Structure 1
């Protein structure tokens, strides 16, 4: 488990245990959930549709053996069911806001019962944009429920009537891989539900999603040119685990995700000019498009790298990048190359 997330979760659970710190615990839990949810937002906004039904670890032992779509659906169906059928005792968001039809899901369950190819086929059917909106609505609804809780509510338990209600709802499959959930949930008090579906369960599946998307990016980059169109090295980029590079469908470079149609201005310009990259452009030195916009503190460092490629070629550029990373400890190349592209080029040539 992510060490930082684990520590935050432990602190929250500790604070939940005392009435004097209960309010602080809820505040920190909601903040933590917001931090975790941002990971889902980045994944949904950053990756192509095909990414959500790929299972790069299919057959592996663990929650990462599924798909991104499955992970999102499963995590928030459980929260929706637990939050509304058990804690708030009202209508689930899936039905109340008619998300089932919007998402185009063939099931209303947690999907625990699905196996192998069934997971892939299920994932292909989902409208990811609507699924994301559903997850956001569930999160916001749950946060509201959390804020309305009092410390005394934490000890509330659930009896046979709740079990019967869950069974009757058909939201948990009768399959042995799923049906145990009802006994598991009903064996908890409200505090126990907050500790698992509302927090730890999120961590488990978001970490699984990170593993899945990292592997998908790794697969996408295999055989792809590691030199970005703007002149950066995807092999040495600190976003390497997140990004497949601008020459693949898994491009999550900031200038792509923030631009119209998710196409980086440098990529668009080079495509229009029918050139391989900015290093082939005669206007490079004066260019202020995309990554080279003056407000970007890494603009001139990137420009220097493109100039180095123009002068020495891609192979030498990748070699000098490796030497640069061996010599210095940094994330962003401008930390070493500075903000003057002529001086930056000299540093590269002398490395």
Structure 2
């Protein structure tokens, strides 16, 4: 489990336990939820459709044995049910927004009843854009609910009639892998529900999603040229765990994500000129496209690296990057190379010659 999230969650639970610090706890919880949701945003907006129904850990024990799509569905169906049907006693977001139809889900349940290949087949049917919009709306509605809850309500429990309402809603499958959820939720008070579905449950499943996407990116990059079109080394980039590189469909490079087709101007230009990368272009030193946009902090560094590749080749470039990254992290390396593209080239050449 992500240690930073876990420690922040522990702090939140301590704050929620006392009336004097309760509001601080709610504010910190909403902050944590927004931070974690950013992970979902990057995944939902960055990866190809195929990524959302792949199961790279299909036979493993743990939440990472699921799919990205199932994980998003599961997190927010549970939250929608608990926040609205159980606590607020109003309509769920999935009903108000007619999201089941928009998402294309064959079920309205939490998905606990689905196993193995059923999860992959279910995930294939989902419209990821609509699923993401649903998740975002549920998250925001719960944040509003949390802000409105008072400390005096924390010990409020639930009755048999609440259990009946949940059962009658049809949102929890009667399968043995799912029906226990009703007793589990109703045996807690509101503070207990805040502790699990609204916080810890997120941490466990989003951490699992990170493991899934890391594996998918690693698999996508196998045998793929690790040098980006602009001349940066994907082997050394800070986005290495998120990005499959601009030469795969798992392209979440900072410039690629600005465009709907995930193709940055450097990539498009190279394709139009039928060249392998910017390092093969005679206009490199004067280029202002994509990564080389003058107001981009990394433009001089990228051009220096592309110039080195043009002069010495990719194999030499990757060896030099290995040497630099033994001493510096990605940010520091780019800072050193980025003062001026010609000075950056000299630094790379000095590393190459020693």
**What TM-score do the two structures reach when normalised by structure 2?**
0.97
Q: 1:35 is paired with a residue of what secondary structure?
A: helix
Question: What are the superposed Cα offsets for residues 313-350 of structure 1, whole Å, 9 maximum, x if unpaired?
Answer: 11111111101111334435322223211111111111
Contact 2:51 2:216 in 1 (8 A): yes
**How big is the shift at 1:25?**
1.1
Moved more, 322-331 or 213-222: 322-331
Contact 1:328 1:336 in 2 (8 A): no
Question: What are the superposed Cα offsets for residues 146-180 of structure 1, whole Å, 9 maximum, x if unpaired?
Answer: 11111111100112111111111111111111111
Q: Residues 287-298 of structure 1: matches in 2 within 5 Å?
A: 287-298=287-298
- Quote the Cα distance in structure 1 between the aligned partners of 2:217 and 2:333: 21
Tell me if 1:136 matches 2:121.
Answer: no
Task: Summarize the Cα distance change of 1:275–1:332 in structure 2 as closer, same or farther, 3 Å threshold.
Answer: farther
Question: What are the superposed Cα offsets for residues 251-293 of structure 1, whole Å, 9 maximum, x if unpaired?
Answer: 0001000135321000000000000000000000111110011
Match of 1:12 in 2: 12
**How big is the shift at 1:64?**
0.4
Match of 2:165 in 1: 165
Q: 1:183 is paired with a residue of what secondary structure?
A: helix
Match of 2:124 in 1: 124
Contact 2:325 2:333 in 1 (8 A): no
Moved more, 333-342 or 161-170: 333-342
- Quote the Cα distance in structure 2 between the aligned partners of 1:110 and 1:214: 25
**How big is the shift at 1:189?**
0.2
Match of 1:339 in 2: 339
Match of 1:350 in 2: 350
Match of 2:45 in 1: 45
Q: 1:236 is paired with a residue of what secondary structure?
A: coil
Tell me if 1:101 matches 2:113.
Answer: no
Q: Residues 85-96 of structure 1: matches in 2 within 5 Å?
A: 85-96=85-96
Question: What are the superposed Cα offsets for residues 112-166 of structure 1, whole Å, 9 maximum, x if unpaired?
Answer: 1111110000000001111111111111111111111111111001121111111
Contact 1:243 1:252 in 2 (8 A): yes
Q: 2:89 is paired with a residue of what secondary structure?
A: coil
Match of 1:82 in 2: 82
Tell me if 1:34 matches 2:34.
Answer: yes
Q: 2:37 is paired with a residue of what secondary structure?
A: helix
- Quote the Cα distance in structure 2 between the aligned partners of 1:228 and 1:246: 6
Q: Residues 313-332 of structure 1: matches in 2 within 5 Å?
A: 313-331=313-331
- Quote the Cα distance in structure 2 between the aligned partners of 1:81 and 1:218: 35
- Quote the Cα distance in structure 2 between the aligned partners of 1:95 and 1:203: 26
Tell me if 1:249 matches 2:249.
Answer: yes
Match of 2:307 in 1: 307
Match of 1:205 in 2: 205
Q: 2:105 is paired with a residue of what secondary structure?
A: coil
- The two structures, once aligned, show a CA RMSD in angstroms of 1.0
- Quote the Cα distance in structure 1 between the aligned partners of 2:251 and 2:9: 31
- Quote the Cα distance in structure 1 between the aligned partners of 2:260 and 2:105: 29
Contact 1:68 1:212 in 2 (8 A): yes
Figure out how many residues of one structure are paired with residues of the other and give that number.
351
- Quote the Cα distance in structure 2 between the aligned partners of 1:323 and 1:118: 47
Mark the runs of 5 or more structure 1 residues left unpaired by the alignment.
none
- Quote the Cα distance in structure 1 between the aligned partners of 2:204 and 2:135: 16
Question: What are the superposed Cα offsets for residues 185-243 of structure 1, whole Å, 9 maximum, x if unpaired?
Answer: 11110000000000010011111111111110000000110010000110111110000
Match of 2:232 in 1: 232
**What TM-score do the two structures reach when normalised by structure 1?**
0.98
- Quote the Cα distance in structure 1 between the aligned partners of 2:8 and 2:235: 32
- Quote the Cα distance in structure 2 between the aligned partners of 1:239 and 1:82: 35
